[in-house]
Structure 1
Amino acid sequence: MTQPELSVWNFGKAENSLACREALSLAQQHLKSLFFEKHADIDWLVHQQALFVDEVLQFLWQAHVPDATPATLIAVGGYGRGELQPFSDVDLLILLDEAISDSPPAALSQFLTDLWDVGLDIGHSVRSIAECRAQAEEDISIATNLLEARYLCGEAALFTELEQLTVSNKTWDTRLFFERKRQEQIERHRKYNETANNLEPNIKESPGGLRDIQVITWVAQQHFSVTNLAGLNEKGFLAQSEYDVLEKARRFLWQIRFALHHQAGRKQEKLMFDHQRELAKKLGYQDTEKRMAVEHFMKDYYLAARAVGQMNALLLQIFEENIIQAAEPGDIQPINRRFQAHNGYLETINAGIFAFYPYALLEVFLLLQQHPHLKGIRAATIRQIHAHLHLIDRRFRKDIKNRSLFMEIIRQPKGITHEFRRMNQLGVLGAYLPAFGNIVGQMQHDLFHAYTVDEHTLFLVGNLRRFSCEEFNAEFPLCSSVFYQLAKPQLLYIAGIFHDIAKGRGGDHSILGVADAEQFCQQHSISAYDTQIVTFLVRHHLSMSATAQRKDIEDPEVIREFADLVGSVERLNYLYLLTVADIRATNRNLWNSWRDSLLKQLYHSTRQWLENTEQQAKNIEEKSQKKHQQALAELIDKGYQNQSISDLWQDYGLDYFLRHSVDEIVWHTRNRLDRPDQEPLILVRQHNNEAATLELFIFSRDRRGLFAAMTATLEQLQLNILDAKINTTETGNTLNTFIINGAAQRHQDIINAMQQQLARTQLTSGYNPQMMPRISRLFKTEPTIKFTDNPQLNHTVMELYTHDRPGLISAVAQVLLSQQLQLMNAKLTTLGDQVEDVFFISNDDDNMLTSSEQDNLYSTLKDTLMQQAEQKVSTISF
Structure 2
Amino acid sequence: MSTDTADSIWHFRTEETQSYRSLLKVAQQSLKTMFFEQQADIATLVRLQADYVDEVLEKIWQDNIDSTLPVTLIAVGGYGRHELLPWSDIDLLILLDESVSEQPPEGLSSFLTQLWDTGLEIGHSVRTLAECRHQAELDITIATNLLETRYLCGDQALFQDLLQLTVSNKTWDTQLFFERKRQEQWQRHQKYNDTANNLEPNIKESPGGLRDIQVIQWVAQQHFGVKDLEGLRQKGFLAQSEFDALHNAQLFLWKVRFALHHLAGRKQEKLMIDYQRELSRLLGYTETENRRAVEHFMKDYYLCARAVGQMNALLLQLFEENIILANEARQISTINRRFQAHNGYLETINAGIFAYYPYALLEVFLILQQHPELKGIRAATIRQIHAHLHLIDARFREDIKNRSLFMELVRQPNGVSHEFRRMNQLGVLGAYLPEFGRIVGQMQHDLFHAYTVDEHTLFLVRNLRRFSIPDLSNEFPLCSEVFYQLPKPELLYIAGIYHDIAKGRGGDHSVLGVTDAQQFCKRHGLSDYDTAIVSFLVRHHLAMSSTAQRQDIEDPEVVKAFAELVQTTERLNYLYLLTVADIRATNNNLWNSWRDSLLKRLYHSTRQWLEHTEAQAKSTREKSYKKYQQAMQELVDAGCAQAQLSQLWQPYSLDYFLRHSVDEIVWQTSQRLAQPDSSTLVAIRPHGTTDTLELFIFSADRRGLFADMTACLEQLQINILDAKINTTRDGNALNTFVIHAPAQRMQDISNALLKQLADNSPHPGYQPQRIPRTSQLFRTEPVIKLADNPEQNHSVLELYTHDRPGLLSAVAQVLLALDIQLINAKMTTLGDQVEDVFFITTSDGKALTNEQQDYLKTKLTQQLSAKPESSATSISF
**TM-score category by the smaller chain?**
over 0.9
Larger mean Cα displacement after TM superposition, 408-417 or 615-624: 615-624
CA-to-partner distance for each residue in 1:250-271, whole Å, 9 max, x for gaps?
1000000000000000000000
| Matching residue of 1:7 | none
3-state SS of 1:825 partner: strand
Report the alpha carbon displacement of residue 616 of structure 1 after superposing the two structures with TM. 6.5
Report the alpha carbon displacement of residue 761 of structure 1 after superposing the two structures with TM. 3.3
3-state SS of 1:726 partner: strand
> Is residue 450–residue 587 contact of structure 1 (8 Å, CA) maintained in 2?
yes
Report the alpha carbon displacement of residue 535 of structure 1 after superposing the two structures with TM. 0.4
> Is residue 78–residue 84 contact of structure 1 (8 Å, CA) maintained in 2?
yes
| Matching residue of 1:186 | 186
State the alpha-carbon separation in 2 of the partners of residues 83 and 459 from structure 1.
36
Report the alpha carbon displacement of residue 67 of structure 1 after superposing the two structures with TM. 1.1
The answer to whether 1:852 aligns with 2:847 is no
> CA 1:14 to 1:708, structure 2 compared with 1: closer, same or farther past 3 Å?
closer
> Is residue 609–residue 616 contact of structure 1 (8 Å, CA) maintained in 2?
no
Query: Sequence identity of aligned pairs in percent?
Result: 72
State the alpha-carbon separation in 1 of the partners of residues 119 and 163 from structure 2.
30
State the alpha-carbon separation in 2 of the partners of residues 626 and 744 from structure 1.
32
Query: 1:733 is matched by which residue type in structure 2?
Result: N
| Matching residue of 2:250 | 250
The answer to whether 1:129 aligns with 2:129 is yes
The within-5 A match list for 1:81-480 is: 81-480=81-480
State the alpha-carbon separation in 2 of the partners of residues 640 and 106 from structure 1.
86
State the alpha-carbon separation in 1 of the partners of residues 419 and 361 from structure 2.
12
The answer to whether 1:733 aligns with 2:743 is no
Report the alpha carbon displacement of residue 829 of structure 1 after superposing the two structures with TM. 0.5
Q: How many residues align?
A: 859
Structure 2 regions of 5+ residues with no counterpart?
Answer: 1-12, 872-877
State the alpha-carbon separation in 1 of the partners of residues 503 and 80 from structure 2.
45
Report the alpha carbon displacement of residue 671 of structure 1 after superposing the two structures with TM. 1.7
| Matching residue of 1:803 | 802
Query: 1:714 is matched by which residue type in structure 2?
Result: L
The within-5 A match list for 1:737-756 is: 737-743=736-742, 745-756=744-755
Query: 1:634 is matched by which residue type in structure 2?
Result: E
The answer to whether 1:485 aligns with 2:485 is yes
State the alpha-carbon separation in 2 of the partners of residues 384 and 853 from structure 1.
69
State the alpha-carbon separation in 2 of the partners of residues 471 and 25 from structure 1.
60
3-state SS of 1:105 partner: coil
The within-5 A match list for 1:575-724 is: 575-612=575-612, 617-688=617-688, 690-724=689-723
CA-to-partner distance for each residue in 1:196-250, whole Å, 9 max, x for gaps?
0000000100000000000000000111111111111111100011111111111
Query: 1:201 is matched by which residue type in structure 2?
Result: P
| Matching residue of 1:828 | 827
3-state SS of 1:766 partner: coil
The within-5 A match list for 1:516-555 is: 516-555=516-555
Report the alpha carbon displacement of residue 743 of structure 1 after superposing the two structures with TM. 3.3
Report the alpha carbon displacement of residue 613 of structure 1 after superposing the two structures with TM. 6.0
| Matching residue of 2:790 | 791
3-state SS of 1:163 partner: helix
3-state SS of 2:799 partner: strand
With the length of structure 1 as denominator, give the TM-score of the two structures. 0.97
Larger mean Cα displacement after TM superposition, 454-463 or 617-626: 617-626
State the alpha-carbon separation in 1 of the partners of residues 724 and 677 from structure 2.
23
State the alpha-carbon separation in 1 of the partners of residues 232 and 15 from structure 2.
44
Structure 1 regions of 5+ residues with no counterpart?
Answer: 1-12, 873-878
State the alpha-carbon separation in 2 of the partners of residues 529 and 60 from structure 1.
79
State the alpha-carbon separation in 1 of the partners of residues 389 and 771 from structure 2.
50
Report the alpha carbon displacement of residue 14 of structure 1 after superposing the two structures with TM. 11
| Matching residue of 1:572 | 572
State the alpha-carbon separation in 2 of the partners of residues 313 and 223 from structure 1.
17
3-state SS of 2:40 partner: coil
3-state SS of 2:60 partner: helix
> CA 1:503 to 1:862, structure 2 compared with 1: closer, same or farther past 3 Å?
same
> Is residue 768–residue 869 contact of structure 2 (8 Å, CA) maintained in 1?
no
> CA 1:257 to 1:719, structure 2 compared with 1: closer, same or farther past 3 Å?
same
State the alpha-carbon separation in 1 of the partners of residues 741 and 17 from structure 2.
49
Query: 1:391 is matched by which residue type in structure 2?
Result: L
> Is residue 261–residue 268 contact of structure 2 (8 Å, CA) maintained in 1?
yes
3-state SS of 1:212 partner: helix
State the alpha-carbon separation in 1 of the partners of residues 615 and 114 from structure 2.
80
> Is residue 693–residue 743 contact of structure 2 (8 Å, CA) maintained in 1?
no
Query: 2:860 is matched by which residue type in structure 1?
Result: L
> Is residue 77–residue 146 contact of structure 2 (8 Å, CA) maintained in 1?
yes
> Is residue 694–residue 741 contact of structure 1 (8 Å, CA) maintained in 2?
yes
Report the alpha carbon displacement of residue 17 of structure 1 after superposing the two structures with TM. 1.1
3-state SS of 1:110 partner: helix
> Is residue 514–residue 539 contact of structure 1 (8 Å, CA) maintained in 2?
yes
State the alpha-carbon separation in 1 of the partners of residues 636 and 167 from structure 2.
83
State the alpha-carbon separation in 1 of the partners of residues 504 and 274 from structure 2.
22
> Is residue 233–residue 239 contact of structure 2 (8 Å, CA) maintained in 1?
yes
Query: 1:359 is matched by which residue type in structure 2?
Result: Y
> Is residue 776–residue 869 contact of structure 1 (8 Å, CA) maintained in 2?
no
Q: CA RMSD of the aligned region, Å?
A: 1.2
The answer to whether 1:780 aligns with 2:779 is yes
State the alpha-carbon separation in 2 of the partners of residues 802 and 763 from structure 1.
27
3-state SS of 2:502 partner: coil
| Matching residue of 1:5 | none
Larger mean Cα displacement after TM superposition, 365-374 or 763-772: 763-772
State the alpha-carbon separation in 1 of the partners of residues 134 and 229 from structure 2.
30
Query: 1:307 is matched by which residue type in structure 2?
Result: A
> Is residue 249–residue 308 contact of structure 2 (8 Å, CA) maintained in 1?
yes
> Is residue 280–residue 297 contact of structure 1 (8 Å, CA) maintained in 2?
yes
| Matching residue of 2:759 | 760
> Is residue 593–residue 690 contact of structure 2 (8 Å, CA) maintained in 1?
no
State the alpha-carbon separation in 2 of the partners of residues 631 and 180 from structure 1.
60
CA-to-partner distance for each residue in 1:726-761, whole Å, 9 max, x for gaps?
001111100000000133752111110001101113
Query: 1:692 is matched by which residue type in structure 2?
Result: D
CA-to-partner distance for each residue in 1:705-729, whole Å, 9 max, x for gaps?
1100100111111111000000011
> CA 1:537 to 1:32, structure 2 compared with 1: closer, same or farther past 3 Å?
same
Query: 1:60 is matched by which residue type in structure 2?
Result: I
State the alpha-carbon separation in 1 of the partners of residues 425 and 704 from structure 2.
56
With the length of structure 2 as denominator, give the TM-score of the two structures. 0.97
3-state SS of 1:746 partner: helix
| Matching residue of 1:76 | 76
State the alpha-carbon separation in 1 of the partners of residues 710 and 23 from structure 2.
56
CA-to-partner distance for each residue in 1:59-100, whole Å, 9 max, x for gaps?
000000111221100000000011100001100000000111
CA-to-partner distance for each residue in 1:250-307, whole Å, 9 max, x for gaps?
1000000000000000000000011000000000001111011000000000000000
> Is residue 146–residue 167 contact of structure 2 (8 Å, CA) maintained in 1?
no
State the alpha-carbon separation in 2 of the partners of residues 224 and 763 from structure 1.
76
State the alpha-carbon separation in 2 of the partners of residues 14 and 279 from structure 1.
37
Query: 1:693 is matched by which residue type in structure 2?
Result: T
State the alpha-carbon separation in 2 of the partners of residues 512 and 672 from structure 1.
53
State the alpha-carbon separation in 1 of the partners of residues 644 and 614 from structure 2.
30
State the alpha-carbon separation in 2 of the partners of residues 774 and 589 from structure 1.
19
> CA 1:811 to 1:308, structure 2 compared with 1: closer, same or farther past 3 Å?
same
> Is residue 770–residue 871 contact of structure 1 (8 Å, CA) maintained in 2?
no
Report the alpha carbon displacement of residue 614 of structure 1 after superposing the two structures with TM. 8.7
State the alpha-carbon separation in 2 of the partners of residues 182 and 745 from structure 1.
40
CA-to-partner distance for each residue in 1:424-450, whole Å, 9 max, x for gaps?
000000000000000000000000000
State the alpha-carbon separation in 2 of the partners of residues 380 and 319 from structure 1.
12
> Is residue 467–residue 480 contact of structure 1 (8 Å, CA) maintained in 2?
yes
> CA 1:738 to 1:655, structure 2 compared with 1: closer, same or farther past 3 Å?
same
